[in-house]
Structure 1
Amino acid sequence: MKKIIIGILIAVIAIAGIKAALSFQQKQTDQTAQSNNARVIRIGYQASSSLTVLEKTQKILENELAKDNVKVEYRLFLAGPPMNEALASGQIDIANMGPLPAISAKGNGINVKAIGRSYSDDYYYSLLIRPDSDISSLADLKGKKIGVQLGSGAYVFFLFLLDQNHLSLDDFNVVNMTTSDQKSALQNNNVDAVVTWQPFVADIELDNAGKTLINSKGVIKTAGVYLMRTEFGEKNPDLVKKFLKAHEDTAAYLKDHPDESLKAMAEDSKIPELPLQKSLQTIDWDINFTQDDLNTFTKIKDLMKNQGNIKKDFDINDFIDKSFIN
């Protein structure tokens, strides 16, 4: 029963907003057309989208596109599902998000393509317990309260972890919890564990609010996705190519100017420098998807399909569009 309830909640998170946005998309507007004609590119991101934050603060894409009289707009979101709604309704053109919401968008009828990898990391997710906890294994958490943001990549990591250990959601008291609430929940003993991603993992650890029991190494190697409205790419292929080139230029800037980059990212994202620095140590910024990435995406898609969280099956290879990478 718990699995059914959580599955329904995931479906609500991943699909409900998409349905509303898709109905709006049917009446799509002269406003979207005008935006395209005016040559504007609108980027969706989260505070944890470190490279996009740096790109924004250093105006790397903005300065490049200004040469062509193109405006760049960055729009901050709290999670992937709201970005899907914005993509579906034509409010943004490209979004930096995790694999689960990206696959959810495609599987629920939004006309999108994955055009590049925004990051890759073996250690991106962790299950953390309180620092004074004597829990030593996942099995020790049976019946305990675990906070995780449903519909996130961290939730997928948790599901894969359960499968790897021959456990199920019914073995735990799983509650939906945003990243902004997880640290205080551990500190106030409101949960026994949380499942989250970087740089929030590092922030919890460095603040001594929790310690990692299990990380994602050997469970799932995540790969972030630059998700693009297909229509925007068809009309503006030159802008998409320059957007992806800006990713590579920003990664190079981060490598050459680590101190300035950390300061800029911390100030803009409101995430302290030390957690950011720690979280960036294992991230690969290569923009090219690997076969391992595609295999992981297929596993996530199949998991979502089995849970009834996507309406339409699709081939991951048809979801990927490598034509914009120089």
Structure 2
Amino acid sequence: MTTLRFSFDLLSVSKRAWSAPVRTVTLTMAALLCAAPAHAADLPVLKVGDQSLQTRGILEASGQLKDLPYRIEWFNFPAAQPLGEALNAGAVDVGGLGDAPLVFALAAGAQVRAVAATRSTPLDLAIVVAANSPLNDAASLKGKRIATTRGSIGHYLALAALKKANVPVSEVTFVFLAPADAKAALASGSVDAWSVWDPYTALGEARDHDRIIANGVGLSEGLSYQVATDRAIAGKRAQLADFLRRVALGQRWALSHPDEVAAMQSRVTGLPVDVLKTVYQRGQVHPVTIDDSVVSAQQRTADTYEAANVIRAHLDVRTSFDRSFPLP
């Protein structure tokens, strides 16, 4: 009998402590089929990886999950690295990754391609410090400990901010942690700063009065992707194309309906509505065509990781895109 394992980051679905552990719920396939209508069990399945339920929240709020001609199995992750690992293992068919985590996944040998792209204003991508910290800019990070998730957009931002401030990477100590653990380390003083992204940035600002000392504007390309496995592109093309169309329509709708998206996302995740409204208003996430400018921007991100020895070999990103899924 097939067994599916679903992992939920409780930080994303609860208002409780930042340090809440990851809980894994195991369901048998028989139980899933008994719980679903018979006709739904006969539909093809698309396995979708999400981060902090953000894609699902937009699709729910915009009505794009109605009348699906297939079933979606959602897998939620607290950060991009475990989602990238799930894509690499074929545990999910498609999922959202930032530009830097995609580079990290490709360098690890993942057989995946970016099939849709978005741009955002990277105000949410930030290096934050505790409210009472004496640090006030990237230059002040010299000699300090910076928490982030290895291979994440937060990791990328820290490298880019240090380079701009002329602080050698050898002059800081990176502490690689999952978001909940990184927040706990910042709160306890075990690290001096945390390089992170929304909704964690907005939640820290609202709950603990964390201060931003650097953000991604001018440092990050602001690109994120829906990334699919080669197997899904070949074997689930119709479902994948329909899903990407719905995501793009939902993202456009969300730009002019931040209140509705925040309210729905709050019901799904348990995070405060005002925090989520901040996430959507400052991000301004919008779909863009995968063109030569996107590919060039992605190559710059890969080259930055190569120069910092985050990846060990040169990566030509041109083969990591599939441009055959047009925007609606």
TM-score, length basis structure 1: 0.78
Matched residue, 1:304: 305
Match for residue 58 of structure 2? Answer: 54
For residues 285 and 242 of structure 2, the distance between their equivalents in structure 1, rounded to whole angstroms, comes to: 20
Note the C-alpha offset of 1:260. Answer: 3.0
Go from structure 1 to structure 2 and tell me whether the alpha carbon gap of 1:305 and 1:138 turns closer, same or farther (over 3 Å shift): closer
* Counterpart residue number, 1:174: 174
| Preserved CA contact (<8 Å) 1:186 1:194 | yes
Cα distance in 1 for residues equivalent to 2:123 and 2:291: 17
- 1:27 matched residue in structure 2: none
1:187–1:209: 8 Å Cα contact kept in structure 2? no
Residue 120 of structure 2 aligns to a residue in which SS?
Answer: strand
Within 2, Cα distance between the matches of 1:140 and 1:262? Answer: 35
Separation in structure 1 between the aligned mates of residue 145 and residue 77 of structure 2, nearest angstrom: 27
Contact 1:220 1:296 survives alignment (8 Å): no
Specify the alignment match of 1:320 in structure 2. 321
1:153 shift after superposition: 0.8
Pair 1:278 & 2:278 matched: yes
State the match for 1:199 in structure 2. 199
Given the alignment of the two structures, is residue 242 of structure 1 paired with residue 242 of structure 2, yes or no?
yes
**Does the CA contact (< 8 Å) of 1:237 and 1:324 recur in 2?**
no
Structure with more helix by fraction: 1
Correspondence for 1:39 among 35, 44, 61: 44
Q: Is the 8 A contact 2:255 2:281 kept in 1?
A: no
Counterpart in the other structure of 2:117 = 117
Q: Tell me the residue number matched to 2:10.
A: none
Task: Tell me the secondary structure at the aligned position of residue 65 of structure 1.
Answer: coil
Q: Render the CA deviation track for 1:81-111: whole Å, top value 9, x for unaligned.
A: 3223322332211011122221222233222
- Structure 1 Cα separation of the partners of residues 103 and 81 of structure 2: 11
Deviation at 1:242, TM superposition (A): 0.7
Equivalents in 1 of 2:167, 2:226: separation in Å? 33
> Which amino acid counterpart does residue 171 of structure 1 have in structure 2?
E
Q: Kindly tell me: are residues 322 and 124 of structure 1, through their superposed partners in 2, closer, same or farther at Cα, counting changes over 3 Å?
A: farther
Partner residue, 2:148: 148
Q: What is the percentage of aligned positions where both structures have the same residue? A: 21
Secondary structure of residue in 2 paired with 1:266? helix
Q: 1:231-282 deviations in whole A, cap 9, x for unaligned?
A: 2112232222211110122124424543332121122223222121112123
State the partner residue of 2:68.
65
**Is this contact kept in 2: 1:183–1:209, CA < 8 A?**
no
Conserved 8 A contact 1:244-1:325: no
For residue 321 of structure 1, give the secondary structure of its aligned residue in structure 2: coil
Deviations 1:205-238 (A, max 9, x none): 1224311111111111321111101121122322
Distance in 2 of aligned mates of 1:146 and 1:311: 22
SS state at 2:91 partner: coil
Alpha carbons 1:136, 1:213 under 8 Å: kept: yes
Distance 1:137 1:311, change over 3 A: closer
User: What is the alpha-carbon distance in structure 1 between the residues aligned to residue 323 and residue 123 of structure 2?
Assistant: 26
- Per the alignment, do residues 105 and 79 of structure 1 end up closer, same or farther by CA in structure 2, a change over 3 Å counting? same
* TM-score of the two chains, using structure 2 as the length reference: 0.78
Q: Compute the RMSD of aligned alpha carbons.
A: 2.5
Gaps of 5+ in 2: 1-41
- 2:187 and 2:138 mapped to 1: Cα distance? 20
Question: Which whole-Å CA distance do the structure 2 matches of 1:137 and 1:257 have between them?
Answer: 34
Contact 2:203 2:275 in 1 (8 A): yes
Residues 72, 160 of structure 1: CA spacing in aligned structure 2 closer, same or farther, 3 A cutoff?
same
Which has the higher relative contact order, 1 or 2, with Cα contacts under 8 A spaced 6 or more apart? 1
Change beyond 3 A, Cα 1:307–1:76: same
Range with bigger deviation, 134-143 or 73-82 = 134-143
Q: Note the 1:221-260 alignment, pairs <5 A.
A: 221-255=221-255, 257-260=257-260
User: Any gaps of 5 or more consecutive residues in structure 1?
Assistant: 1-36
Partner AA of 1:51 in structure 2: T
Say if 1:309 and 1:257 are closer, same or farther in 2 by CA, change over 3 A. Answer: closer
**Partner amino acid, structure 2, of 1:154:** G
Per-residue deviation at 1:118? Answer: 4.2
Q: Is the 8 A contact 2:306 2:314 kept in 1?
A: yes
